[in-house]
Structure 1
Amino acid sequence: MGEPLILVGRVSGAFGVRGEVRITTFTADPLALATYRDLKRQDGQPALTILSARLAKGGIIVRTKEVETREQAEALRGLKLHIPRDILPEPEEDEFYVTDLIGLAVETLAGEPLGRVKDVRDFGAGDLLEIQPPEGASWYLPFTRESVPEVRIAEGKVLAVPPREAEEAEDAD
């Protein structure tokens, strides 16, 4: 399949008339995209090579090697931009890249399988793991220490306390 890629931004259109590209960034530091420089498409093919960047509302404005006109920049609208996972620093303790969590097995503390991490979402009240069980509809689990006491990336699993067990523990207190 190739190297794992992480989504870091999306082209939101042209800026001005000289071929600058507006990018919505998904990084803590929007200008980090300029340091990554060579951005890729989802399939790993080259997308944009950033020559210069500056902050703008909602992201950054960049000059690229590939784009010279406003029309070329507009044609890229919606293009998702990725970087190889291995160029990112290792996360701090108790921090994770979403791409490292997706696909991990989810088990109870007793080792009973619950499913796999399908996605990580945040609807405004904190991160939620979307769990896809072997059968049936997916469900959400708060990504908190109470609900997810351990994440074992190297072992490929997440230890979780399902909502019904958490409620029972609270009722016992």
Structure 2
Amino acid sequence: MLVTVGRIGRAHGIKGEVGLDVRTDEPDRRFADGATVITDSKTVRTLTVASSRWHSGRLLVKFAEVPDRTAAEQLRNLALQAEIPDDERPEDPEEYYDRELIGLTVRTTDGAEAGEVIDVVHLPSQDLLEIRRPAGNAVLVPLVEELVPEIDLAAGHVVVADRPGLLDPEGAEVTPTEPDAD
């Protein structure tokens, strides 16, 4: 299965290194020397990591197929994907691949069925589960332990600690506002 693991940024130096916008929790594993990634462009290319290093909080990667800065600049903004075996699990037991979560049944802490996970949205601050509710609408739930206390892959479900307005936006508590004083 192909999984997006990064996006190529600007070239760094003159020897073909590029900065990466990392989209994986395992960058040292996905961009290890000798690892291969695939571009998502119209002309799909396989790139082999010749070396990688962290510099000022940014991952710099040198691909064997990219000899210089000019070639590196031509790759800018391309997404990179890695082939991940279907049975592979993240190293951290508290982490999950998107493909493991998509399709899981959603239950509330009291056991009521609340929908199905249809996507995982990755934001800079946190990840969100996109859940299709039984009525057909979709809601976003932050993937944090306080709101998603249990993920049971073997049983095929996640548990969501429902709060007013979380699974049912129409049921949000409305705080009355005071009238403006003149």
TM-score for the superposition, normalised by structure 2: 0.68
Secondary structure of the residue that 1:147 maps to in structure 2? Answer: coil
> In 2 relative to 1, CA 97–35 (structure 1 residues): closer, same or farther, beyond 3 Å?
farther
Paired with 1:149 and 1:122, the residues of 2 have a C-alpha distance of 20
Paired with 2:40 and 2:155, the residues of 1 have a C-alpha distance of 27
* Structure 1: gaps (5+ residues): 167-173
Shift of 1:11: 0.7
Q: How many residues align?
A: 161
> In 2 relative to 1, CA 36–120 (structure 1 residues): closer, same or farther, beyond 3 Å?
farther
Shift of 1:141: 2.2
Shift of 1:46: 4.6
Corresponding residue of 2:133: 133
Corresponding residue of 1:158: 158
1:64-112 deviations in Å (ceiling 9; x for gaps)? 2211232221111111122223395544443323342233232334342
TM-score for the superposition, normalised by structure 1: 0.71
Paired with 1:158 and 1:29, the residues of 2 have a C-alpha distance of 23
Paired with 2:40 and 2:156, the residues of 1 have a C-alpha distance of 23
Percent identity, aligned pairs only, is: 32
Letter in 1 for 2:60: I
Conservation of the 8 A alpha-carbon contact between 1:131 and 1:138: yes
Shift of 1:121: 4.0
Secondary structure of the residue that 1:34 maps to in structure 2? Answer: coil
When the two chains are superposed, the root-mean-square deviation of aligned CA atoms in Å is 3.2
- The structure number with the bigger radius of gyration is 2
The correspondence for 2:38, drawn from 37, 40, 43, is 40
- Structure with the higher fraction of residues in helix conformation: 1
For residues 55-66 of structure 1, the aligned pairs below 5 Å read 55-66=54-65
1:123-146 deviations in Å (ceiling 9; x for gaps)? 63x543222335554222233444
Corresponding residue of 1:84: 83
For residues 15-34 of structure 1, the aligned pairs below 5 Å read 15-28=12-25, 30-32=27-29, 33-34=31-32
Secondary structure of the residue that 1:17 maps to in structure 2? Answer: coil
Letter in 2 for 1:72: A
Shift of 1:115: 3.1
> In 2 relative to 1, CA 59–15 (structure 1 residues): closer, same or farther, beyond 3 Å?
same
Conservation of the 8 A alpha-carbon contact between 1:24 and 1:58: no
Conservation of the 8 A alpha-carbon contact between 1:106 and 1:117: no
Shift of 1:48: 1.4
Corresponding residue of 2:116: 115
Paired with 1:153 and 1:36, the residues of 2 have a C-alpha distance of 32
Q: Does 1:142 align with 2:139?
A: no
